Structure 1
Amino acid sequence: MNHLPLAAALLALAPFTAQAQQAGEPGTPYANMNHLAPIGVRNDRYLTVPDAAKGPPIDPAKGYRTEDLGGGTYMVTDNGYSSMFVVYETGVVVVDAPPSYGAHLLAAIREVTDRPITHLIYSHSHADHIAATPLLGKVPVIIAQEETKRLLIEARDPNRPLPTLTFKERYTLKAGSKTIQLSYPGYGHSPGNILIHVPSAKVLMVIDTVFPGWMPWRRLALAQDITGLFRIMHEIEGMDFDKLVGGHVERWGTKADVIQQLEFMNDLKAAAATALKTTGIGEELDAADKTNPWAVYDNYIDRVVVQCMNTLEPKWRDRLGGYDAFIWDQCFAMEQSLRID
């Protein structure tokens, strides 16, 4: 079995059944409870990752893999994180410096060229994507969207040096014969998160937004604006690229991966919307708790999410890597967005 069966899940909850229960302790599962382990309950074994989600293996002696994306553009990855660099006539433009393989990033570049790093582009402000910047040495120009600089000023993190050049909406970097187009589509994952497009190579890099072959990270990759995330996904779908560097998971993506993620997100939205409309408020709730508004809505939201889960599972559980790891999170995030955004 790839997951904790319902009988085992109920057995695990046995100490908390009504006879032993005191106020404030967990009780029995909801009616129609989805069998995948909910948040806070351990999985004995997660679902097998589909082959379509997998990428080439990493040489453990190196700790990273470099892939030639064409046109002087390269991806570096450890199959958990990914970044990019572009080689031009007299130098190298690096996009992001993730700490997970930061100690090897310069070596990865040196496998391709000994030209100096002249520019570093920050995709956004988050430390897990740029906090290995000092390991690249002195970089003359660091480029970011102005919201990223604002957040980095607040962070005061020596591992994330402030950008030396910022822009508001669009910036075109000319590096020798290479052109890299930077654009800010607005809030989605986080303020300042930009699209990095290398038109000549037909490569697009957008971080923490598209997860090729995989379930997005929890709560739609912790998107600060889920409505904005949908809008940005449609913008990405309309762009001209063949290969996409997403910042995570095992492989680069394609337009088909963008379309598949949009399909999942639309199904998630529809499932959560239907569950919100068809779930009764106050059902399966102890009468003594009905004057407690937090209890009433905790109970309601839980049952909405269970219905959302049950709707999505037949179509998606075997199509996306890590489906069972974060599907509870996705349903919680989507119902909240539909109620308040």
Structure 2
Amino acid sequence: MFLVYETGVVMVDAPPRYSAQLLKAIAEVTDQPVTHVIYSHSHIDHIGGVLDLGGSPITIAHDETKRLLARAADPKRPVPTVTFGDTYSLKVGSQVLELSYHGVAHEPGNIFIYAPEQKTLMVVDVVFPGWMPWRRFALAQDVPGYFQQVADIDKVPFETFVGGHVNRVGTHQDVRDQLEFMNDVKAAALTSLQTTAPEKEMDPADFANPWAVFDNYIDRVVVQCVNAVTPKWQPRLAAFDVYIWDQCYAMEQSLRID
């Protein structure tokens, strides 16, 4: 996503797979240079093309993103020059972007980027409009935090949602659909955990191996969860079949240990 102001362009993320196309897109709108780059978070698939934008833009990110990039020491992902803790208002010319941190979900440092005048919200790797989320709730490092962030996204008065993946922007209905799906997975996984008995459908010779007993139990919990949510959601989410096992697995793990 990019925002044009009187004397420049603010770029949000620069995925390496199409960083050259980003410059072409900007050139179709303005001949102004990129003066600021906001990192949504530290992952290379979203900011690994920042150097391809050229110039010496001011880079802005959360404190945690700076920490992770300093640890990574990746020359393709420069450490940000400006960081913040909870909120940051970027005012350039007549344009404003409101940056805010809502805790750990996908990874530490992943931020909300909101353009209030344009009523556009960008949050990357959390909501996937019309699609099954990437595996294990988009590799969420904090599953309860991930659930909370999807609910928080719906509270923002946006009209256009930019999620960083899949083939279209999103709406509030997309956010609500994903949250409904996630809550259905949570309910199904909880029921499965409560109604699936250990040490069933396995060779008694393996009973002395606790890893084998638990692996068998987890697999049967996940199967029951998958079977419970498939009739409702398979027709509604693209690529449902690819990652539904991963979602149920991540959910039962989180319910047991988080």
Q: More helix by proportion, 1 or 2?
A: 2
Within the alignment, does 1:310 sit opposite 2:224 as a pair?
no
Within the alignment, does 1:262 sit opposite 2:199 as a pair?
no
- The one of 109, 126, 138 aligned to 1:209: 126
After superposition, give the CA deviation of every residue in 1:272-294 in whole Å (9 maximum; x if it has no partner). Answer: 00000000011011111111110
Within the alignment, does 1:119 sit opposite 2:26 as a pair?
no
Map of 1:194 onto structure 2: 111
SS in 2 for 1:252: coil
- The one of 233, 236, 255 aligned to 1:338: 255
Contact 1:125 1:151 in 2 (8 A): yes
Map of 2:204 onto structure 1: 287
Q: Number of residues paired by the alignment?
A: 258
Q: What residue ranges of structure 1 are gaps of 5+ in the alignment?
A: 1-83
Structure 1 CA distance, aligned partners of 2:123 and 2:56? 22
SS in 2 for 1:295: helix
Moved over 3 A (4+): none
Map of 1:96 onto structure 2: 13
CA drift of 1:192 comes to 0.2
Structure scoring higher RCO (CA < 8 A, sep ≥ 6) equals 1
- The one of 152, 161, 177 aligned to 1:235: 152
Task: Name the amino acid aligned to 1:293.
Answer: P
SS in 2 for 1:157: coil
Per the normalisation by structure 1, the TM-score is 0.75
Structure 2 CA distance, aligned partners of 1:193 and 1:310? 33
Within the alignment, does 1:179 sit opposite 2:96 as a pair?
yes
SS in 1 for 2:182: helix
Task: Name the amino acid aligned to 1:169.
Answer: D
Within the alignment, does 1:223 sit opposite 2:140 as a pair?
yes
How is 1:13-32 mapped onto 2 (pairs within 5 angstroms)?
Answer: none
Query: Among the aligned pairs, what percent are the same residue?
Result: 63
SS in 2 for 1:200: coil
Contact 1:120 1:139 in 2 (8 A): no
SS in 2 for 1:244: strand
Task: Name the amino acid aligned to 1:160.
Answer: R
Map of 1:162 onto structure 2: 79
Structure 2 CA distance, aligned partners of 1:191 and 1:277? 32
- The one of 126, 131, 141 aligned to 2:48: 131
CA drift of 1:103 comes to 2.2
